[in-house]
C-alpha cells in the first residue's frame, strides 16, 4: 500500500462464509484519517451481498479483537471473523 496524504488505506480480510457472502477474501479500502472501525464496517455493509452479514460482527485489527470505536491507522489489516460451529 502506498501512502497518500489525507487518505487512510486498510486491508480487509474475509473468511469462510463472509468470503462467500461478499464474493471476495480481500478488499482494500480508503477512509479519511481518524476513521474508526465502526465507519469501516459501515462501508463494508454497502457492498453487494453485505445485507446477509449478521448485525454483530467479530472483527480484529492487526490480529487483536477490536471494538467499533478503535481508531484505524494507515496499513492496518482488518479481519472479519465468522462464527465458528463445532461439536
Is residue 73 scored above 90 in pLDDT? yes
Whole-structure pTM over 0.75, yes or no?
A: yes
- Domain 8-81 fold is Ubiquitin-like (UB roll) (3.10.20)
- Residue 78 burial class via C-beta count within 10 angstroms: exposed 0-12, middle 13-18, buried 19 and up: buried
Is residue 87 scored above 60 in pLDDT? no
pLDDT value at position 44? 97
Per-residue b or e along 13-33, where b marks 16 or more CB atoms closer than 10 Å to that residue's CB: bbeeebeebbeeeebebebee
Tens of pLDDT, residue by residue over 14-72, are 999 999 999 999 999 999 999 999 999 999 999 999 999 999 999 999 999 999 999 99
Amino acid at each position: 500500500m502506498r501512502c497518500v496524504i489525507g487518505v487512510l488505506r486498510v486491508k480487509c480480510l474475509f473468511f469462510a462464509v463472509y468470503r462467500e457472502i461478499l464474493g471476495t477474501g480481500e478488499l482494500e479500502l480508503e477512509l479519511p484519517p481518524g476513521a474508526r472501525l465502526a465507519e469501516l464496517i459501515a462501508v463494508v455493509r454497502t457492498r453487494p451481498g453485505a445485507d446477509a452479514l449478521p448485525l454483530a460482527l467479530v472483527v480484529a485489527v492487526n490480529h487483536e479483537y477490536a471494538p467499533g470505536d478503535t481508531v484505524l491507522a494507515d496499513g492496518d489489516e482488518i479481519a472479519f471473523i465468522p462464527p465458528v460451529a463445532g461439536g
